[in-house]
Amino acid sequence: MNFSRRNFLKNSIAGSLAVPVLPHFSEPLNSPAFSRIKLSISSYSYWHFKSEKFPIKKVIDEAAKLGVEGIDILHRQMEGEDNKYIQDLKRHAFQSGITFTCLSIHQSFVSPDKEFLQKEIAHTKKCIELAAKMGIPCLRLNSGRWNTIKSFDDLMKNRGVEPVLPGYTEDDGFKWCIDSIQQCLPAAEEFGVLLALENHWGLCSTPEGQLRIKKAIDSPWLGIMMDTGNFLENPYSKLEMLAPYTNFVQAKTYYGGGEWYSLDLDYKRIFNILKKVNYQGYLSLEFEGKEDPFSAVPKSIEMLRKAMA
């Protein structure tokens, strides 16, 4: 075999073993054009603090039927915290192809009462450990509120606005909240649970207040939860302010009229806000209307899927 023939065969074999040419994508896979937003359902969608609790196991079943990726668990809706109950939920979720995306707790860090704050900090730390035990990587935090309007129904009638506690200032409230969250961060880091601060009335009723807390705490273990339904006026500009810092989204719908109020939210616009900042996480439905959830939740998921597309 002469040299030119050997060289030709060598090059031919090398060519046949080469990696095939892949199709060219004009955008990288982590760009806004390739959004990986995943849908979840909040257990709250089936229970609005009224009548008998809707079991978390049934929420898992409904989520599996609808083909979403996960559920966001409302802590107060759980039937207990004993190990048998928790492990049974985990097994059932795994076998149903459902991920636990977030544990939504209630606590408040706005009070001049140091003993009260220590109880709330201890409760939060306990819930961080509970989330880790359940395999949940995210915990919903509230800032807390002044409680100068005692009834939540009355607070909603007042559009979520309440006066500052007499003798104190908003700066006092922010200091209590920031100090309390900082005391919870070592537990969050130890157990690998991200604390997601929600725009949920009180100090976080405005994006400025929410981001003031976030920016005062230099930790990757404090993030932002965006609730699409908790800004009652000019929601889109406020959601845009939160979007670059957002780690988890709760998406409200109000079929049948809201329990406290209704918003006509444009979810195509909201998804565009999220895509502009390349949000790649979960969006969890929080149905808060009066319609039967067995019709309203599927309707909501279908609407969200169309808006995503």
pLDDT, tens only, 251-271: 999 999 999 999 999 999 999
pLDDT digits (tens, 9 = 90+) for 236-249: 999 999 999 999 99
- Cα–Cα dist 239/68, whole Å: 24
**Assigned domain for 156 exists:** yes
- Give the type of residue at 209: G
Q: Tell me whether residue 9 is in a domain.
A: no
Contacts of 135 by beta carbon, 8 Å cutoff, 6+ apart: 90, 100
pLDDT tens sequence across 144-165: 999 888 888 888 888 878 899 9
> How far apart are alpha carbons 147 and 165 in whole angstroms?
8
133: pLDDT strictly greater than 50: yes
Query: Does the pLDDT at position 88 exceed 50?
Result: yes
Residue closest to 294 by CA, chosen among 62, 138, 116: 62
Considering the domain boundaries, does residue 24 fall inside one?
Answer: no
Q: For the chain, what is the radius of gyration of the CA atoms? A: 24
State pLDDT tens for residues 213-238.
999 999 999 999 999 999 999 999 99
Q: Which domain holds residue 51?
A: 35-308
pLDDT of residue 25: 36
225 burial via Cβ count (<10 Å: 0-12, 13-18, 19+): buried
Q: What is the pLDDT of residue 19?
A: 40
Q: How many domains does the chain have?
A: 1
Kindly tell me if the per-residue pLDDT of 28 is higher than 60: no
Q: 114-133 vs 83-95: helix axis angle to the nearest 10?
A: 50
- The CATH number of whichever domain residue 149 belongs to comes to 3.20.20.150
Structural domain contains residue 186: yes
Percentage of the residues of the chain whose pLDDT score is greater than 70: 89
- pLDDT for the residue 34: 54
Task: Decide if 48 is inside a domain.
Answer: yes
